[in-house]
Amino acid sequence: MSQFIRTLQQVIVLYDSSKKPYKIADVVKLKGESFLIIGIEAFKISGIELTIWYTMQDLKFHDFISVSPKPMLSKLEHLSVLYRYNDERFEDLQPGRTVPHRGKRYKVIEHTHIAVNNDIITLQFLATQVLPMKRKVVQTKYFDEKKKELGINVF
């Protein structure tokens, strides 16, 4: 499967309205080949340049066995932010990082959409709520650590 799934890098100069970010499901032509954008891997803002890495699928390879996606353990939330291009909070929106939303903590799973309007960037992404360990487990760990710290052995 790896021969037809690839990464594409796109650099967009902010304030240049001639170049817009690709969207998931867009078909992109590169060197005479057609590729389908199937995901956003990452993005980086440097000065007035926005660099986006996409996951793309080569459309000429269509003779493969489809694989069903694995079910998610926790529910995915679709979140969106609207920031100026130089906002430091963009650094916290990379996959794997956690962000606050309405008093809860969410882990960024995948970017789903990026749009640019002059110096304003809209980013949409999927995230899962970060849930704490069960209270009983945390309590047991806490008391075990306290016992070690104080040198108490209970039989």
Highest mean pLDDT among 8-17, 54-63, 125-134: 8-17
Please check whether residue 135 lies inside any domain of the structure.
no
Whether 39 is covered by a domain: the verdict is: yes
The total number of structural domains that make up the chain? 1
Residue 100 has pLDDT above 60, yes or no: yes
24 three-class SS: coil
pLDDT score of 67: 66
pLDDT in tens, 6-52: 889 999 998 877 889 999 889 998 888 888 988 888 888 888 899 99
Both structure tokens of 44: 């980086």
Residues counted in the chain: 155
Band the pLDDT of 112: cuts 50, 70, 90: very high
12 part of a folded domain: yes
Helices (H), the chain: 135-150
Whether 138 is covered by a domain: the verdict is: no
Residues above pLDDT 70, as percent of the chain = 86
pLDDT band at 139; cut points 50, 70, 90: confident
Rounded Cα gap, residues 117 and 36, in angstroms? 24
Question: What's the pLDDT at 1?
Answer: 46
Rounded distance between C-alpha atoms, residue 57 and residue 55, angstroms: 7
Strand boundaries in 14-153, DSSP class E: 27-30, 33-46, 49-58, 76-84, 98-101, 104-117, 120-129
pLDDT greater at residue 106 or residue 73: 106
Q: Is residue 18 part of a domain?
A: yes
Number of Cβ atoms within 10 Å of the Cβ of 12? 20
Look up the domain containing 110 and give its range.
Answer: 5-61+72-129
Compute the distance between CA of residue 133 and CA of residue 139 in angstroms, rounded to an integer.
10
Inside any domain, residue 140? no
Residue 66 included in any domain: no
Q: Per the domain annotation, does 145 fall within a domain?
A: no
